[in-house]
Amino acid sequence: MSLPLQFRTALVFGAGAAEVGPGNGAAIAIRMAEQGAVVFAADKDIEAARRTQRLVRDTGGRCEVIEADVCIEDSIQNAVRLAQAADGNIDILVNNVGVVMLGGPEELSVQDWDRSFELNTRSAFLALKHVLPVMGKAGRGAIVQVSSIASTRAGGTAFCAYSASKAALNALGMSVAMQYAARGIRCNNIILGMMDTALVRQQLAIGHPQGLEDLLTQRNATCPTGAMGLPWDAADAAAFLASDAARYINGTDLFVDGGLHNQVVASRA
């Protein structure tokens, strides 16, 4: 069995699994552990992190949990310290924390705008700030940031803070990729399209309790493939970008969207 991430230590922020099933962060943690990495699943919700840990261990992988609030710098520093203690280095960093605040400039409160950037962008900055010195000392490292197609294209939903903060995340990743390339550190962004996760279904059901199936059908029809992506699609992309198979891929926005970004462009012509 191929283990492309064997002997690697991976720190995954936002790795907790919901009660209804694993989302993108949990799936990334599980897949990296399956490929041999020692995974540190960091999440503000420690019980969610423990659910991911159990799923990892069910597959025979290694996973430790860390309670971490990405809005608090000391909490991130502690997570980095605990992960580094495993073998002296953090080989892989995954920034997977995010929140969607609905509304355009008129509707959205200043507090929600600030909260969007705090969770979607500032959290990644803090993780990078404290992981990069560790990777720099070792002379190697792979960083994967989970972004959204909303950062590159306007859709039919008004969530200006989400789009702007995820676009800032993309730019942050590009900047890091260029600054640290000569030090053996790579940074890439995964741009997710429509994803079918248990948590997304749960959130959609709150606003559309009677029409969930119709809404899911509409979302599937929006995708060029006729179906939304799964958390495992995000996980496979993240594991690939973290591996030596992607050793010459750096500063890239990898679209994991079934081609949706091309469809949006075509619809404007």
Q: What is the pLDDT of residue 236?
A: 98
The C-alpha atoms of residue 11 and residue 131 are separated, in whole angstroms, by: 9
pLDDT of residue 156: 67
Specify whether 110 is located in the same domain as 59. yes
CATH number, domain with residue 183: 3.40.50.720
Q: Which of 162, 180, 240, 255 is catalytic?
A: 162
- Count of domains in the chain? 2
Q: Does a structural domain hold residue 2?
A: no
Among 28-37, 70-79, 101-110, whose mean pLDDT is lowest? Answer: 101-110
Question: Dihedral (C-alpha) 158, 162, 163, 169: value to the nearest 10 degrees?
Answer: 180
Question: Are 105 and 93 part of one and the same domain?
Answer: yes
134 in a structural domain: yes
Q: What is the mean pLDDT of residues 82-104?
A: 91
**Predicted confidence (pLDDT) per residue in 40-65, tens digit:** 999 999 999 999 999 999 999 999 99
Q: Are residues 41 and 69 in the same domain?
A: yes
Is the predicted pLDDT of residue 9 greater than 90, yes or no? yes
174-214: pLDDT as tens digits: 999 999 999 999 999 999 998 888 777 776 777 666 677 88
Strand order from edge to edge, sheet including 253-256:
62-67, 38-43, 9-13, 92-95, 141-148, 185-192, 253-256
Averaged over 15-27, what is the pLDDT? 93
Question: At residue 82, what is the residue type?
Answer: L
Q: What is the mean pLDDT of the chain?
A: 91
Same domain, residue pair 52 and 172? yes
Query: Is 49 inside any structural domain?
Result: yes
Residue with tokens 């969007």: 116
Examine residue 268 and state whether it is found in any structural domain, yes or no.
no
The stretch 223-235 carries a mean pLDDT of 91
Domain range for 208 is 196-228
| Same domain assignment for residues 26 and 80 | yes
Pairing of strands 9-13, 141-148: unpaired
Task: For residue 180, indicate whether it is catalytic.
Answer: no
Contacts of 171 (CB under 8 A, 6+ apart): none
- Separation of alpha carbons 262 and 93, rounded Å: 29
Task: Report the distance separating Cα 165 and Cα 147, nearest Å.
Answer: 9
**115, 178: one domain:** yes
267 found inside a domain:
no
**Which helix (DSSP H) or strand (DSSP E) does residue 216 occupy?**
helix 212-222
Residue 262 lies inside a defined structural domain of this protein: no
Cα Rg for the chain, rounded, in angstroms?
18
The first and second tokens of residue 134, run together, are: 């560790």
Considering the domain architecture, whether residues 67 and 135 belong to the same structural domain is answered as yes
